[in-house]
Structure 1
Amino acid sequence: MPSNLATLPALHTQYYAPSHASPATLNEIGLLRASIWQDHQLSERQHACQQVWLEEADRHAHLWGVTSGSGLIATARLCISDNLDHLPEQSLYQGLSLSPPFATMGRLVVTPAWRGKGIATALIRERLSLCDRLGVKSLLLDCPEHRVPVMQRFGFNALKLPQAGVLFPDTRFVVMGRFN
Structure 2
Amino acid sequence: MPSNLATLPALSTQYFKPKHASTNTLNEIGSLRASIWQDNQHSDRQKACQHVWLEEADKHAHLWAVTSEAGMIATARLCISNNLNHLPEQELYDGLELPAPFATMGRLVVAPSWRGKGIASALIRERLNLCDDLGVKSLLLDCPEHRVPVMQRYGFSALKLPQAGILFPDTRFVVMGRFN
- Taking structure 2 as the reference length, what is the TM-score of the superposition? 0.92
Structure 2 stretches lacking a partner, 5+ long: none
What SS is found at the alignment partner of 2:113? helix
Q: How does 1:21-36 map to 2 (within 5 A)?
A: 21-36=21-36
Structure 1 stretches lacking a partner, 5+ long: none
Following superposition, the deviation at residue 87 of structure 1 comes to 1.9
- For the 8 Å contact 1:105–1:141, the answer to whether it is kept is yes
Aligned to 1:158: 158
Following superposition, the deviation at residue 135 of structure 1 comes to 1.0
Aligned to 1:106: 106
The answer to whether the aligner puts 1:142 opposite 2:142 as a matched pair is yes
- For the 8 Å contact 2:16–2:62, the answer to whether it is kept is yes
Aligned to 1:55: 55
Following superposition, the deviation at residue 20 of structure 1 comes to 0.1
Distance 1:166 1:56, change over 3 A: same
Aligned to 2:121: 121
Following superposition, the deviation at residue 57 of structure 1 comes to 0.3
The answer to whether the aligner puts 1:173 opposite 2:173 as a matched pair is yes
Following superposition, the deviation at residue 137 of structure 1 comes to 1.2
Following superposition, the deviation at residue 74 of structure 1 comes to 0.1
Aligned to 1:46: 47
Higher RCO (CA < 8 A, seq sep 6+): 1
The answer to whether the aligner puts 1:96 opposite 2:101 as a matched pair is no
Runs of 4+ in 1 over 3 A off after TM superposition: 42-47
User: How many angstroms apart in 2 are the aligned matches of 1:172 and 1:72?
Assistant: 28
Give 2:84's aligned amino acid: N
Following superposition, the deviation at residue 60 of structure 1 comes to 0.5
- Taking structure 1 as the reference length, what is the TM-score of the superposition? 0.92
What SS is found at the alignment partner of 1:21? coil
User: How many angstroms apart in 2 are the aligned matches of 1:171 and 1:125?
Assistant: 25
User: How many angstroms apart in 1 are the aligned matches of 2:134 and 2:172?
Assistant: 31
User: How many angstroms apart in 2 are the aligned matches of 1:150 and 1:95?
Assistant: 25
User: How many angstroms apart in 2 are the aligned matches of 1:34 and 1:45?
Assistant: 11
Following superposition, the deviation at residue 41 of structure 1 comes to 2.0
Percent of pairs with identical residues: 77
The answer to whether the aligner puts 1:37 opposite 2:37 as a matched pair is yes
The CA deviation string for residues 133-163 of structure 1, in whole angstroms up to 9 with x for no partner, is 1111110000111010111010001101111
Q: How many residues align?
A: 176
User: How many angstroms apart in 1 are the aligned matches of 2:64 and 2:85?
Assistant: 21
What SS is found at the alignment partner of 2:140? strand
Distance 1:43 1:100, change over 3 A: farther
